[in-house]
Amino acid sequence: MNKTILITGSSAGIGKAAAQYFAAKGWNVVATMRSPEKETTLTELSNVLVTRLDVQEKADMQRVIAEGIKRFGKIDVLLNNAGYGLFGPFELATDAQIKQQFDVNVFGLMHLTQAILPHFRANKAGTIINVSSMGGRITFPIVSLYHATKFAVEGFSESLAYELSALNIKVKLVEPGAIVTGFDGAANFTGNPDITDYDDFVKGFLELWGSKTQERTTAMQVAEVIYEAATDGTSRLRYVAGEDAKELHGIRMSGEEPYHAYMQKHWMPAHV
What's the domain range around 153? 4-195+217-246
Q: Could you tell me the pLDDT band of residue 188, with boundaries at 50, 70 and 90?
A: confident
Instruction: Determine which helix (DSSP H) or strand (DSSP E) holds 148, and give its type and residue range.
Output: helix 144-165
Between the CA of residue 139 and those of 150, 152, 219, what are the distances in Å?
Answer: 10, 13, 21
Q: Kindly state whether residue 202 falls inside one of the protein's structural domains.
A: no
CA 216/CA 197 separation, integer angstroms = 31
pLDDT-based confidence at residue 195 (cuts at 50, 70, 90):
very high
Please say if the pLDDT value at position 186 is more than 50: no
128, part of any domain: yes
Q: What is the pLDDT of residue 187?
A: 52
What does the DSSP assignment read for 4-63? Answer: EEEESSTTSHHHHHHHHHHHHTT-EEEEEES-GGG--SGGG-TTEEEEE--TT-GGGHHH
Per-residue pLDDT at 229 exceeds 80: yes
Note whether residue 210 is domain-resident: no
What's residue 102's pLDDT?
98
Q: Whole-number mean pLDDT of the chain? A: 94
The answer to whether position 115 is within a domain reads yes
Domain membership of residue 118 (yes or no) is yes
Phi/psi for 192 (5° steps) reads -150, 115
pLDDT at residue 210 in the model: 85
Does 212 score more than 60 pLDDT? Answer: yes
Q: Is 8 inside any structural domain?
A: yes
- pLDDT of the residue at 181: 59
User: How far, in Å, CA of 6 to CA of 153, rounded?
Assistant: 18
Cβ(117)–Cβ(167) below 8 Å: no
Once rounded to an integer, what is the mean pLDDT over residues 124-137?
97
pLDDT tens per residue across span 17-46: 999 999 999 999 999 999 999 999 999 999
Q: Residue 248 corresponds to which amino acid? A: L
User: Quick check: is 261 in a domain?
Assistant: no
Report the domain count for the chain: 1
Burial 4-14 (b: 16+ CB within 10 A, else e): bbbbbbbbebb
For the domain that residue 23 is a member of, what is the CATH number?
3.40.50.720
259 occurs within a structural domain: no
- Split at pLDDT 50, 70, 90, the class of 182 is low
pLDDT digits (tens, 9 = 90+) for 148-175: 999 999 999 999 999 999 999 999 999 9
Query: Which residues are the active-site residues?
Result: 132, 146, 150
Find the mean pLDDT for residues 54-65: 97
